């Protein structure tokens, strides 16, 4: 039998990762110690929701929470560009770094200052790497054109297309490309040709799409994922709930 492949997936979820993601790292490493094999982090950097990168830290003296987030080049990019294409203005990093000593240990302030990435997904990934979370872990990114070319065909998906001088992530609905403005409101985009390298999965098609590339044997699933994942899409996977953690939606920045 081939060696186990232990996988977990997540959007970039804050420049300091949320605690539920750190719990997935811990769960995966514990499972690896028990059964061997490799760990794969499926980074869904194709997601476009800027709320995913909100980072809630607690003040070191008062314990009060404060939420940070990236700033973005423009409104269109903030709302609709995939995370790997959301550009970070040059002043965001130094402005944020000046506030961080009130919230995290000096080693993490220094690690933050070392990150030079100019887009949201790369910044998060470099920060996680600087914290040592990715040591010995293979990263597979949904925004990688090679990954998209290798993935299976799906019928439920988003498409990265040009619009308003940016690349936006449009949903294909009944053959038409649309931007979701909220509620029942959509902006229709002109019909255009697109290639497989522009396609990324929706929530409901993500598992099968991911598995066609990674071929994992075990998948660490979070509380939210357990509510919508359909094991029938990948009956060969053993699903493992992530370890519990308190304040799961806050950032992990412990020394």
Q: pLDDT tens digit string along 141-188? A: 999 999 999 999 999 999 999 999 999 999 999 999 999 998 989 999
Q: 116 in helix, strand or coil?
A: coil
Rounded CA separation 7/211 (Å): 9
Domain assignments of the chain as residue spans, ordered by start? 5-152+205-241
Average pLDDT value for the chain: 96
- The pTM is what? 0.95
Extended beta strands in 74-197, E state: 137-141, 157-163, 166-173, 176-182, 185-188
CB 21, CB 234: distance < 8 Å: no
pLDDT score of 255 more than 80? no
Q: What integer pLDDT is reported at residue 90 of this predicted model?
A: 95
CA distance 167 to 34: 43
- Mean per-residue pLDDT for 217-236? 89
What is the pLDDT, as a whole number, of residue 1? 61
Look at residue 190 and tell me whether its pLDDT is greater than 90. yes
For the record, the structure tokens of 26 come out as 């811990």
According to the model, what pLDDT value does residue 85 have?
A: 98
Q: Average pLDDT for residues 81-100, to the nearest whole number?
A: 97
């Amino acid at each position: 039998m081939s060696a186990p492949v232990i996988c977990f997936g997540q959007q970039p979820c804050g420049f300091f990762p949320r605690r539920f993601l750190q719990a997935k790292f811990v769960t995966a490493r514990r499972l690896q110690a028990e059964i061997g094999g490799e760990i794969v982090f499926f980074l869904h950097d194709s997601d476009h929701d800027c709320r995913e990168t909100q980072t809630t830290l607690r003040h070191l003296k008062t314990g009060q929470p404060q939420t940070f987030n990236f700033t973005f080049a423009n409104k269109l990019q903030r709302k609709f560009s995939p995370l790997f294409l959301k550009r970070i203005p040059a002043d965001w990093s130094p402005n944020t770094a000046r506030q961080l000593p009130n919230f995290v240990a000096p080693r993490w302030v220094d690690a933050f200052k070392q990150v030079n990435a100019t887009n949201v997904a790369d910044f998060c990934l470099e920060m996680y790497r600087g914290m040592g979370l990715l040591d010995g872990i293979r990263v597979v990114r949904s925004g990688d054109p090679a990954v998209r070319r290798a993935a299976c065909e799906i019928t439920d998906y988003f498409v990265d297309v040009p619009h308003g001088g940016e690349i936006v992530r449009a949903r294909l609905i009944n053959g038409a490309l649309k931007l979701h403005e909220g509620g029942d409101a959509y902006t229709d985009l002109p019909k255009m040709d697109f290639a497989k390298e522009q396609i990324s999965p929706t929530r409901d098609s993500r598992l099968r799409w991911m598995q066609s590339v990674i071929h994992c044997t075990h998948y660490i699933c979070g509380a939210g994922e357990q509510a919508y994942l359909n094991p029938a899409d990948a009956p060969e996977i053993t699903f493992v709930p992530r370890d519990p953690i308190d304040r799961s939606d806050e950032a992990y920045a412990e020394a």
